């Protein structure tokens, strides 16, 4: 694993990212000779989050609204200001 100091990492960050991205090489960043951070290739799942469809979001919102209503039957009668106050507590 390649080791670079903080100043070198700051100065050559783009080149270091290219090495990690293209070569799969991990880079250890040190400060005063002590490890501080590691640049390594990202996992595919972490780089491409799945986006929910509009229909899925609507369904999730409806389910959330039903759970809130079941837990607090008076929730329908609360104003927006009252809901914000409750959320702050």
- Distance of CA 42 to CAs 7, 10, 26, 52, 70, Å? 23, 20, 10, 22, 41
Element at 53 (helix H, strand E): none
CATH match for 2-41 among 3.40.50.620, 3.40.50.740, 3.30.450.40, 3.40.1620.10: 3.40.1620.10
What pLDDT is recorded for position 48? Answer: 60
The CATH 3.40.1620.10 portion of the chain extends over 2-41
What pLDDT is recorded for position 49? Answer: 64
In tens, the pLDDT along 13-68 reads 999 999 898 888 899 999 999 999 999 988 754 556 678 888 888 898 888 878 87
What pLDDT is recorded for position 64? Answer: 80
Give which of 25, 21, 27 is closest to 9, Cα–Cα. 27
With b meaning 16 or more CB within 10 Å and e meaning fewer, what string describes 27-46? bebeeeeeeeeebeeeeeee
Question: Global pTM?
Answer: 0.48
């Amino acid at each position: 694993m390649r080791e670079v100091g903080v100043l070198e990492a700051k100065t050559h960050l783009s080149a270091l990212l290219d090495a990690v991205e293209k070569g799969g090489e991990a880079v250890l960043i040190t400060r005063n000779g002590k490890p501080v951070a590691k640049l390594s290739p990202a996992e595919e799942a972490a780089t491409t989050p799945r986006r929910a469809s509009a229909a899925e979001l609507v369904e999730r919102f409806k389910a959330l609204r039903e759970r809130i209503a079941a837990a607090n039957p008076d929730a329908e009668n609360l104003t927006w200001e009252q809901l914000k106050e409750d959320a702050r507590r």
